[in-house]
Amino acid sequence: MKELELKYGCNPNQKPARVFMKEGELPFTVLNGKPGFINLLDAFNSWQLVKELKEATGLPAAASFKHVSPAGAAVSVPLSDVEQQIYFVEGVELTPMSTAYIRARGSDRMSSYGDFAALSDECDEATAAYLAREVSDGVIAPSYSPEALEILKKKKKGNYLVMQMDPAYKPEPLEQKDVFGITFEQLRNDFPINEELFTKNIPTKNKNMTPEAIRDLIVAMITLKYTQSNSVCYVKGGQAVGIGAGQQSRVHCTRLAGNKADNWFLRQHEKVLNLPFLDDIRRPNRDNAIDVYISDDYDDVLRDGAWQEVFKYRPEPLTKEEKKAWLKQMEGLALGSDAFFPFGDNIERAYRSGVKYVAEAGGSIRDDNVIETADRYGMCMAFIGMRLFHH
């Protein structure tokens, strides 16, 4: 098939809409549902991300995409008991592929609501069963087991989008897109992200780049390669835990992503793990309630009585002092940036969220200030010598 007609473009008024190949056949097959314009943008960006992650790490990889940027991305690292609890998968069958997607979706569960999922390896029954119970618009993978496909075809009243990507497909080196009737052309960003990037140029006093740190920085930089710029990414345990995308100021990216990483860690606080939810509360409502509970707005919600909609009784607040004490225990995180840090304030903010390892392009006229700030906190920082903007 050379062409596929779409319902409409980015918005309902943008008709006609289609995807097509100038030469050859489309490299994907729609196994169920009908794709939309944004579905396909998410599918193709997320597929590239997980394919590169698998090639770089050798581990099954997954991504959770929303509006052409990842809400989360991860490789398959076993889940701790607490992680299983905060991702609502206690007692659920776990496989390497399902674990990768559970981590990707768990990075920012609120942002992953209604996501497009990408899997580097075959979608097995366990992964399909997990997808079936979450709010998701579609999935792309190289293959599906018969059991997985049967499960997914029943989702969304039979309308769940299931796409199979040809893993052998290689696009042409030059890519084009039209903006305002004007055609842009450029070489695809085929810059390889590998271990050597994080060991060849370490300007900080701390040069102890551990294997785990290298894995996490690979996750960060490949994630950023497919995130709308400016962007930064915090990673812990092979999983993006905070992504700041599309901000005009880099320090705003670092703050946004750092706040998301903080929230991910606060979900693991004993008070959050023991919140007295009503028995019939849905997972999305739990996610929303947890987000409010750990925010500074919770006291207002308590006064308004909205807690009665989700809790059996009014839980005691998580105080600012308790949050601060808990967040001080965050450590060993990796931070990647898709371009150089222009000021040391980014490193200052990163330190507050437990960052120990950093990767950025380098090349700022203030590199000395950034290095000095990293040294102040004993961080190990690599300059990779390449910008990774994505638009």
Please give the pLDDT value at position 298.
Answer: 79
Fold of 8-165: Cytidine Deaminase; domain 2 (3.40.140)
Instruction: Find out whether 260 and 243 touch, Cβ atoms under 8 Å.
Output: yes
Beta bridge partners of 59: none
- Give me the residue spans of the domains in the chain: 8-165, 190-266+327-383, 270-317
**Contacts (Cβ under 8 Å, ≥6 apart) of 56:** 193, 194, 218, 222
Catalytic one of 22, 157, 170, 391 = 391
146: CB partners within 8 A, 6+ apart: none
Q: Walk across the sheet containing 136-141 and list its strands.
A: 28-32, 161-165, 136-141, 115-119, 61-66, 69-75, 239-245, 231-236, 333-337, 355-360, 380-383
Mapped onto helix, strand or coil, the DSSP state of residue 304 is: helix
Q: CATH code for 190-266+327-383?
A: 3.40.140.20
**Each residue's pLDDT tens digit, 193-246:** 999 999 999 999 999 999 999 999 999 999 999 999 999 999 999 999 999 999
Q: Please name the residue that has the structure tokens 């990163």.
A: 350
- Any alpha helices (H) in 32-141, and if so which ranges? 37-57, 81-86, 96-106, 125-133
Q: CA-CA distance, 86 to 351, in Å (whole number)?
A: 24
Q: Which of 67, 153, 252, 390 is catalytic?
A: 67
DSSP-assigned letters across all residues of 139-151 = EEES-B-HHHHHH
Closest C-alpha among 161, 114, 110 to residue 138: 161
| Residue 34 annotated to the active site | no
Sign of the Cα torsion 207, 212, 214, 219 reads negative
Global pTM?
Answer: 0.96
Report the residue count for the chain. Answer: 391
Q: What is the pLDDT of residue 255?
A: 96
* Cα angle: 342, vertex 343, 348; to 5 degrees: 135
What pLDDT, on a 0 to 100 scale, did the predictor assign at position 308?
A: 86
Annotated active-site residue 208? The verdict is no
Q: How far apart are CA 262 and CA 260, in angstroms?
A: 5
Residues of the chain predicted below pLDDT 70? 302
Bridge partners, 359 (sequence order): 336, 382
Within 10 angstroms of residue 205's Cβ, the number of other Cβ atoms is 12
CA dist 200 and 63 (Å) reads: 28
Residue 142 has what pLDDT?
Answer: 98
pLDDT of residue 86: 96
Backbone angles phi, psi at 240, to 5 degrees: -65, 125
Question: Would you tell me how many other CB atoms lie within 10 Å of the CB of residue 179?
Answer: 7
What pLDDT, on the 0 to 100 scale, is given for residue 306?
77
Instruction: Considering the candidates 39, 230, 263, 346, report the single residue annotated as catalytic.
Output: 230
The DSSP secondary-structure symbol of 306 reads G
Topology alike, domains 8-165 and 190-266+327-383: yes
- Report the amino acid identity of residue 132: A
d(CA 143, CA 290): 35
- Tokens coding 17: 């809409």
Report the chain's terminal Cα–Cα distance, integer Å: 28
The dihedral built from the CA positions of residue 171, 360, 199 and 212, taken in this order, carries a sign that is negative
Cα–Cα distance for residue pair 16/42, rounded to 1 Å: 20
Burial 339-376 (b: 16+ CB within 10 A, else e): bbbbebbbbebbbbbbbbbbbbbbebeebebbbebbbe
Active-site residue, selected from the candidate residues 51, 54, 66, 260: 66
- What is the model's pLDDT at position 389? 96
Q: Which two tokens stand for residue 215?
A: 């894995």
- What pLDDT score was predicted for residue 25? 95
- Contact call for residues 41 and 65 (beta carbons, < 8 A): no
Which residue, among 262, 229, 261, 226, has the nearest Cα to 245 in the 3D structure? Answer: 229
C-alpha 322/C-alpha 325 separation (Å) is 5
